[in-house]
Amino acid sequence: MNNFKPLVMAAVALLAVAAPAQAGKSDAANEVTLHIDAEAAIPPDRAELAVTLSGSGATRNDAIAALRAKQDAFAKSLGDVGLGSAKVSASEPVKVDDATDDMAMDVVAADAAGDAAAAACDAAAVASPKGRKLVSSCTPKKPAFTLQATTTVVFDDLTQLDKAQSVAATVGWSAYRFGYGMHYTTADPAAASKAAREQAIAKARKDADDYAASLGYHVVRIIRVSNASPAFGMRDLHNLTTYADMAPSRMTPSYFGAATYVSVGMDFVIAPN
């Protein structure tokens, strides 16, 4: 039982630090001060999906042609699901010494040149008089060039991401890899901060009115406003679960990291009705 004492003491301390409202005696008769902490969060509104495609061939031009074909197929997949207007850009191709061994690559597509060489070797096999195919001694040559490039798709409407999942599947991405390969941002950080700040202040005022009403009081005036955040505590843990409801299907570190959070501390003076 003694082992639980430190945990209980820590929980009590956190609750004390993160208490959202505090009341204290004011100088005026029958007036008391009420402290409110409030927070607001604005979710990100832009996402970037980066997909690395590769192409192989006997020559550099062949590898470029294979890479371009895959990029065109990916762009067509976007159009097929109604995302043809998405902003798409591609990096310059870079050479990869061994695509199949390069673990840094996001996607390693089928080696078309290698398949063609294997087919040629298979065709060269000599049939025996009994109709059985003999094993060919031909050894397919490894493509001399493998190039890769990153195609980036920018989504200004996050409702499009559900459609984009099917596109990611065309290049071998699982739903898990799709979610964690997404980078979220906010198109207008200043506007998001303003909106979050206004929401936090409005929430603080509403909380003050509610606390005052519960005591049979009303808010007289505001005497202090601060943007200082309280120490992390139990209230913050609750906020994390609340913010998780912003996008249940996009619960990734990048999504929450790109959200705009604002907290405000306000001191109100309340008096009896």
Residue 229: its pLDDT value, please?
Answer: 66
Q: What stretch of H or E contains 178? A: helix 175-180
Assess if residue 1 is contained within a domain: no
Contacts of 55 (CB under 8 A, 6+ apart): 63, 64, 65, 66, 67, 68, 69, 70, 93, 109, 112, 146, 147, 148
pLDDT single digits (tens) 212-260: 999 999 999 999 999 866 566 656 666 666 666 655 555 567 787 788 8
Whether 57 and 141 share a structural domain: yes
Stretch 49-77: mean pLDDT: 86
pLDDT single digits (tens) 95-118: 876 444 333 333 333 344 445 555
- What's the pTM value of the predicted model, to 2 decimals? 0.60
* Local confidence band at 151 (pLDDT 50, 70, 90 cut-offs): confident
Residue 55: its pLDDT value, please?
Answer: 87
Task: From 150, 166, 185, give the residue that closes a domain.
Answer: 185
Contacts of 131 (CB under 8 A, 6+ apart): none
Stretch 171-197: mean pLDDT: 82
pLDDT exceeds 50 at position 45: yes
Assess if residue 137 is contained within a domain: yes
Compare 167 and 250 and report the one with higher pLDDT.
167
Asked if residues 181 and 49 have their Cβ atoms less than 8 Å apart, the reply is yes
Place of tokens 């007036």: 31
Compare 47 and 140 and report the one with higher pLDDT.
47
Task: From 151, 185, 219, give the residue that closes a domain.
Answer: 185
Pairing outcome for strands 32-42 and 21-25: antiparallel
CA distance 62 to 122: 22
Residue 50: its pLDDT value, please?
Answer: 83
Residue 137: its pLDDT value, please?
Answer: 55
CATH code of 229's domain: 3.30.110.170
- Separation of first and last alpha carbons in the chain: 48
Compare 128 and 173 and report the one with higher pLDDT.
173
Domain residue limits at 16: 9-44+188-272
Compare 10 and 268 and report the one with higher pLDDT.
268
**Is 185 buried (19+), middle (13-18) or exposed (0-12) by CB count in 10 A?**
middle
Q: How many helices (DSSP H) and strands (DSSP E) are in the chain?
A: 8, 9
